[in-house]
Structure 1
Amino acid sequence: MSVVAWTAVGSLAAWGWLLLGQGYFWRTDQRLPRREAPGTWPDVAVIVPARDEAEVLPVSLPSLLAQDYPGRAEILLVDDGSTDGTGELARALAAQQHGGLPLRVVSPGEPEPGWTGKLWALRHGITLARAREPEYLLLTDADIAHAPDSLRELVAAARTNGLDLVSQMARLRVAGGWERLIVPAFVYFFSQLYPFRWVNRPGARTTAAAGGCVLLRAQAAERAGVPDSIRQAVIDDVSLARAVQRSGGRIWLGLADGVDSVRPYPRLADLWRMVSRSAYAQLLHSPLLLAGTVVGLALVYLAPPVAACVGVLGNDAAAGWAGGLAWAVMTGTYLPMLRYYRQPLLLAPLLPFTALLYLLMTVDSAIQHYRGRGAAWKGRTYARPQATPDR
């Protein structure tokens, strides 16, 4: 057998493991667990960190103001140094929403050294919220639109199942061509790294959350020392989940119905920045992990179509069969995510090309890090953090 054929066999073996041994990551049936209405609905503080979000607030904020929640809830929008009138727009939208949830717009000032901007904003909002002693905190991004029953369903799921953290992966916007090619794959790759079934097992070693929508028990947050204990985290949602679990909390993560991101990513450059700003941080800024990731992506995603083409064009039957089968398994695992995003299933065979783009984005993330640019977001750049001691 040729080197290409052996490589294809290795890729096929890897896909056999991913298909059956990686927590069935490719399935999309992890939705909110069983829910029963509590006898008394607890108080909730909804905390929305916002920095220059005037473009998306007219779509997202009214959905929070209009929440159909039987208990007491209020919204704290933390205006994190916006220059586009985010705070004023939020107040105007609240004034138009008669009978909705009450809104307070507050400002934390510039982050202190050692803090990322979002976590600094969350710290300010959580501190203010604790004065009214809510049982739960809903941490949700400014670009997330919620169905009218979203808060009610999240609280019911947490109460019914004794969960300290309930997180839903918001359905990201998919409208343009580049979004169709890249966005469903983003969630697919995330679930491959953090299989939802593994995350949702009590005492699981795999922990993760999706930062766009996190319902957090206030006592669990205090016990875990968050956000102070994760103040330097660039990938704050995963760090939050780990802190809560390490302190004895139970967490749950799944795909959302009725929680949608309205932020547009119309160009490849927009999506590139979204991925590359934190990709190398995900690899702990490790050159060894970066090299392993590049090799792994090449073997698992790029080798199958290359081997299949070599088999057809180069008369290498073993390479063609192994590469073709690996490509077919890969394509099959991607179909459920495309169905979830209501996208054409014909996009599934293009997953190797999308994986190549992600590989290049990851390498670019490392390059930007070593150029001193770190993780950049809305005018702020975060260099590699120093180790933060556990609290």
Structure 2
Amino acid sequence: MTHFEMYLHIVVLTLDWLIAFLWTATTLTALRNLPRIPDLLDDRYAKALPPSHVPLISVIVPGRDEAESIEACLRSLLAIESVTIEIIAVDDRSADATGEIMERIAAEAQAAGKILRVLHVTELPSGWMGKTHAMALAARQASAPWLLFTDADILFHNGALLRALNFVEAERADHMVILPTLILKSFGERMIMAFFQGIGGISSRFWRIPDPKAKESICVGAFNMVRADIYRAMGGFEALRMEVLEDLRFGFEVKHQGFRQRVAFGRDLVRVRWAVGLAGIIRNITKNFFAVFRFRVGLTLIASMLLFVFCAGPFVACAGGLAMCIPAALVLLMLVLLYRYYRRYTSIATYYAITFPVAACLVVYAIVRSMVVTLARGGVQWRGTLYPLAELRKNAGRLR
């Protein structure tokens, strides 16, 4: 072994141990604090509410070309028990039968004495993303003291909103998120979503969200519930007209403006199949992840490199001999502990920890692809509409 090779070996081994130390420290911190996140399946959140003849929650469901999923979503909302709600479904320029399905279910709901209104958008105004426009339009017509923004492919447990209302009352919250339960049907889906749960478990620090001094914030499109007066005080989605990641940006604004934000687990209360197969996940990442880095090329490349080094580096370095395998084994042990903890909420088997470095490589590829495709198209192409990159960059605010 030459002096250069020996020096390189020492540098790589040192880096490996540094990464292993970081994994160990962040994982143990996460495992100590994750139990602080409330679980809505706790019986205390199931207590009956006083009877109400007026809607307590306005549920806003935007959808474009969602004919395959919208009926199941709306029927799950109409089956909600113990809470009076109004549902406002928005058919956003659909080219399929989405609007017709919404109208048919609305007629059935009216006959059953339930509230389901349908709005139809035929043209997208200049300077708007389709989804933010649809949600803003519906919110202006909502009448309840709480607004729940959700997606057209979400399935709700009939007790989800009762537990949510009890939770926000107990916490005196202004905004809350239920972490959705993912419906996973393929190996590729489980592998990639297990990666996100692993990296998210140590980086997101959800347990710090209630702390008004902490920078951590949260919002998910599946379950974004906010007091109507707070929503309007923030400027609503009118203030986020051209935001690709409108959920994350909304969550940041709630926290940044000093309102009380909360997050909770609740297995199977809110379910979604985020993407169909590995190809579907790559497609979703292509739309979203350049936006995560605010459409900045340098930041995207640096983040991709660091993600690869941190998540796959120790395993790649195992080719350098037994000494290199020890830090990788320690990282793998931390992943096993994280996956084992999250299994109670996701049903992803612990053994998927061994697929973590492969998933990391695929995610890095998808992030770089997101950047390249967006730059090549000159913007984000989604559901038949191209949103120009210059406008997206101009309107891209902070996420943290």
Change (3 A) 1:84 1:165: same
Q: Output the CA distance in 2 between the equivalents of 1:94 and 1:241.
A: 30
| Residue 66 of structure 1 pairs with residue 79 of structure 2 | yes
Partner of 2:276: 266
SS across alignment from 1:163: coil
SS across alignment from 2:180: strand
| Residue 361 of structure 1 pairs with residue 366 of structure 2 | yes
Change (3 A) 1:367 1:67: same
After TM superposition, list the pairs within 5 Å mapping 1:50-61 onto structure 2. Answer: 50-61=63-74
| Residue 371 of structure 1 pairs with residue 381 of structure 2 | no
Structure 1: which 5+ residue stretches go unaligned?
none
Partner of 2:151: 141
Partner of 1:275: 285
Q: Output the CA distance in 2 between the equivalents of 1:235 and 1:88.
A: 28
Deviation at 1:338, TM superposition (A): 3.8
| Residue 245 of structure 1 pairs with residue 255 of structure 2 | yes
Deviation at 1:329, TM superposition (A): 1.9
| Residue 31 of structure 1 pairs with residue 39 of structure 2 | yes
Stretch of structure 1 that moved more, 112-121 or 85-94: 85-94
SS across alignment from 1:128: coil
- 8 Å CA contact 1:335–1:348 kept in 2: the answer is no
- 8 Å CA contact 2:301–2:368 kept in 1: the answer is no
- 8 Å CA contact 1:140–1:212 kept in 2: the answer is yes
Q: Output the CA distance in 2 between the equivalents of 1:116 and 1:239.
A: 14
Q: Output the CA distance in 2 between the equivalents of 1:345 and 1:111.
A: 45
Deviation at 1:148, TM superposition (A): 0.6
Partner of 2:3: none
Structure 2: which 5+ residue stretches go unaligned?
1-8
After TM superposition, list the pairs within 5 Å mapping 1:94-243 onto structure 2. Answer: 94-96=106-108, 99=112, 101-129=114-142, 132=143, 134-243=144-253
- 8 Å CA contact 1:74–1:103 kept in 2: the answer is yes
Change (3 A) 1:90 1:387: closer
Which residue of the other structure, out of 340, 344, 352, is the alignment partner of 2:349?
Answer: 344
Change (3 A) 1:6 1:279: same
Which residue of the other structure, out of 282, 292, 302, is the alignment partner of 2:312?
Answer: 302
- 8 Å CA contact 1:23–1:195 kept in 2: the answer is no
Change (3 A) 1:264 1:327: closer
Deviation at 1:26, TM superposition (A): 6.8
Which residue of the other structure, out of 97, 101, 112, is the alignment partner of 1:89?
Answer: 101
Change (3 A) 1:185 1:25: farther
Q: Output the CA distance in 2 between the equivalents of 1:321 and 1:301.
A: 15
Partner of 2:17: 9
Which one has the bigger helix percentage? Answer: 2
Deviation at 1:78, TM superposition (A): 0.7
Deviation at 1:373, TM superposition (A): 4.4
SS across alignment from 1:382: strand
| Residue 254 of structure 1 pairs with residue 264 of structure 2 | yes
Which residue of the other structure, out of 326, 335, 346, is the alignment partner of 2:331?
Answer: 326
RMSD: 2.6
Q: Output the CA distance in 2 between the equivalents of 1:252 and 1:40.
A: 25
Partner of 1:49: 62
Deviation at 1:272, TM superposition (A): 0.4
Stretch of structure 1 that moved more, 25-34 or 292-301: 25-34
Deviation at 1:225, TM superposition (A): 0.7
Change (3 A) 1:88 1:192: farther
- 8 Å CA contact 1:307–1:322 kept in 2: the answer is no
Superposed CA offset, 1:188-231 (max 9, x none): 44454422112232343111111111111000001111111122
- The letter for the 1-side match of 2:10 is S
- The letter for the 2-side match of 1:80 is D
Deviation at 1:171, TM superposition (A): 1.2
Deviation at 1:160, TM superposition (A): 2.0
Partner of 1:78: 90
Deviation at 1:93, TM superposition (A): 2.9
How many residues align? The count is 381
The sequence identity of aligned pairs, in percent, is: 26
- 8 Å CA contact 1:23–1:197 kept in 2: the answer is no
Change (3 A) 1:344 1:43: closer
TM-score of the aligned structures, taking structure 1 as reference length: 0.89
Q: Output the CA distance in 1 between the equivalents of 2:32 and 2:347.
A: 20
SS across alignment from 2:310: helix
Stretch of structure 1 that moved more, 164-173 or 369-378: 369-378
Change (3 A) 1:144 1:389: closer
